[in-house]
Structure formats: C-alpha cells, structure tokens
Structure 1
Amino acid sequence: MVKDILVPVDDSPQAKAALEYALKEFPEAAITAIHVVHLPEGYWAAFARSEDELPGYKRVHSHARELLETTVQQASEHEHKMDTVVKTGDPAREIVDYAIEHGFDQIVIGSHGRKRAGRLLFGSVSEKVVRNAPMTVVVVHEE
C-alpha cells in the first residue's frame, strides 16, 4: 500500500495531470508537492555570495509559492490536504534526493512524452528521476 507520494509540479499541464492522477488513484496517501527552482550556473553564480543574490531569485520563489498555492487548491477540490516544498538546484537530483531523505514510497511525475530526438535535445527530468529513484516512479504522459 502506498502511503507517501511525492509529486513534482511546475506550470505544465503534464504536472497538473500527474497531481490529478495521484489524487484520484491514491486518495488515502499523504501527498507532497515539490517545486524545484533551477538556479543559473556559471557567470551569475560565480559572483553571488548566496542564492538569494542571484538575478530573479525573489521573483522565481514568489512564483513557486503561487504555483504551490494553486496545487493545494487543486487538492482541496478532492478534499485532500497536501504538504508543499520548494527546493533549489537541479530538478531531477533535488526530486530524487528529497524523496529518499523523506522516505517517500512513490513519485508521480508528469512527462511531455517527447520522442527520442526531443529527449536528446532538451533532456528529460522525468527520465532522470525514473533512472535514479530507488522507489516506484509513475510517469503520467500528457501530449
């Protein structure tokens, strides 16, 4: 029985579909929504003493909080309470690390369903999560 589910969320319809899937298929599970802010690397990062000095830091974190508030509202439509968390860093790595550190049974993640060429060009957070997570990962495809 699945007790604890981590659902990565962003602005995409795929993430919304993944959350809907988790809420419908696992109504008794505790669900946590995670949003990972991908911070710039290289030039800007070299001059910042801390993350909050990076250009756009406050804006992206404000957006993340708004996004998670929308996610909580989506869960409340299913009469489900949900925890939320914002992390910074590489999205796939942060999702997997958070899931391991907090003992999640499962990750439910949305995917664009890109073909091989698209994955090679753009990479795939969901693919990296599937490859690296030691727990079950359900990928919800939305084209």
Structure 2
Amino acid sequence: MYDEILLPVDGSPAAEQAIPHVFDLAERYDATVHVLFVVNTTRDNAGIIGGTVLETLEQEGQRVVDEVVERGESRGIETVGAVRRGAPHETILDYATEHGAEVIAMATHGRTGVERVLLGSVTERVVRTAPVPVLTVRATG
C-alpha cells in the first residue's frame, strides 16, 4: 500500500511521538521512510535569520535527521534523510511530490483556541493541502 513514507521532523518531543508509528508502517509495508527537517526561512523569521544562524539551524536539523535515520536503519528500514530551507508546509508538500510519497506522517502539537488561530499549524496546513493522505499523531504530555 505504501512504498514511500514522508516523516517531517523538527526535533520536538511531539515529532518524536510520530516516529514509532512511521517505523511500524514502514515495516508492515516494506516502505522507505524519508525523514525531512525544514529550516523555516519565511518572511516571519527573516529578521532573525542570518548566515551563521541559518547554518546553525541546518546543522541542528541534520543532527536530528541523522539520528532518526540511524534509528530506522537499526530496525532494518530503508531510511533516507534531507534538510531543506523554505516555508515548512510548502517544503513538505514539494518534497512529498518530488519523492513520490504516498503518505505523510507527522505530529500535531496539540494547540487549541487562540494559540492555534494566531500561530497556525504546519500540520494543519499540510492536512488541508496535501495531495496524499496525512497520518497525524496527536502529541501527548
């Protein structure tokens, strides 16, 4: 059913909770897991992002991706990683299309009310606009 699964990660405890679900799916369907970290370079962050800061964020993203890839490979799952720059939801969707992902699996951060309205949600935007199914894992705790 699924040959290519996209797992966007950001190093948060919420994102961590999606990983076991994705690895279980990958084992069940003998799928490749694509682990993606997006460095947010949207205009909302433009004032704080400079050359050194951007490089630091990319290095942290690579560390997160490498750790998840290593965990997948230790379970015998074909796992590849990438770090990209851009608007997170758009970059996730672009990557999914480029790599033929048949499902995107990601965590929700559990925001509600005014906080959700004001901050928005990358997961929510992906769910609303993805051309493939999106598996969401609600963060607990």
Bin of the TM-score, shorter chain as denominator length: 0.7 to 0.9
- Judge which range, 9-18 or 28-37, deviates more: 9-18
Structure 1, unaligned stretches of length 5 or more? Answer: 46-50
TM-score if structure 2 supplies the norm length?
Answer: 0.87
Match of 1:24 in 2: 24
Q: Per-residue displacement from partner, 1:54-91 (whole Å, max 9, x unpaired)? A: 34122111111111111112213422231011110100
Deviation of 1:25 after TM superposition, in Å, equals 2.6
Aligned residue identity for 1:6: L
Structure 2 stretches lacking a partner, 5+ long:
none
Is the 1:44–1:54 contact (alpha carbons within 8 Å) kept by the matching residues of 2?
no
Cα distance in 2 for residues equivalent to 1:26 and 1:68:
17
Aligned residues: 137
RMSD, aligned α-carbons? 2.1
Look up the SS of the partner of 1:103 in the other structure.
Answer: coil
1: distance between equivalents of 2:123 and 2:12?
13
Give the alignment's TM-score, normalised by structure 1: 0.86
Q: Identity, % of aligned pairs? A: 30
Matched, 1:136 2:133: yes
Post-superposition offset of 1:44: 5.5
